[in-house]
C-alpha cells in the first residue's frame, strides 16, 4: 500500500460509502484472495474503501456477522449487502454503476 494512503476504519468507511457509493472491502494481510482482488482491480482499487480486519476490530465484527461467525475475506459490501470473495470483474462492474449513479 502506498505511504500516506489512509485506510479508514469500518465505521468511517461505511459513512463515506453512504455518501459516495464506493464499496467497502474488508481484507487482511497475507490473504491471497484479497491480493488477487487488489491486483485484478488495478487502479480501480482506489475507488473502494479498504478496511484491514486485523487492525480494526469493528471491521472484523462486520465480517463475522456477514459470514456466520467466520472471518472470510475479502468481503465486499456494495450498497449495504456483503459479498464474499466476489469475482474482481463483478466488483469493477459495481464501480461503473456507482460512478454512473453519482453523475
pLDDT at 8: 57
Count of C-beta atoms within a 10 Å radius of residue 88: 19
pTM of the model: 0.84
Report the chain's mean pLDDT, rounded to a whole number.
Answer: 87
Burial of 42 (0-12, 13-18, 19+ CB in 10 A): exposed
10 pLDDT above the threshold of 50: yes
- The predicted model gives 9-32 an average pLDDT of 92
User: By the 8 A CB rule, do 83 and 34 touch?
Assistant: no
Interval 32-67: pLDDT, tens: 999 999 999 999 999 999 999 999 999 999 999 999
pLDDT at 51: 95
Amino acid at each position: 500500500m502506498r505511504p500516506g494512503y489512509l485506510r479508514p476504519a469500518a465505521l468511517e468507511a461505511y459513512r463515506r460509502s453512504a455518501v459516495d457509493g464506493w464499496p467497502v472491502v474488508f481484507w487482511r494481510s497475507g490473504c491471497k484472495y484479497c491480493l488477487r482482488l487488489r491486483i485484478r482491480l488495478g487502479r480501480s482499487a482506489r475507488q473502494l474503501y479498504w478496511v484491514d480486519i486485523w487492525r480494526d476490530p469493528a471491521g472484523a465484527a462486520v465480517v463475522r456477522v456477514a459470514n456466520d461467525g467466520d472471518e472470510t475475506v475479502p468481503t465486499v459490501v456494495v450498497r449495504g449487502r456483503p459479498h464474499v470473495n466476489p469475482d474482481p470483474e463483478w466488483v469493477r462492474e459495481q464501480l461503473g454503476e456507482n460512478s454512473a449513479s453519482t453523475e
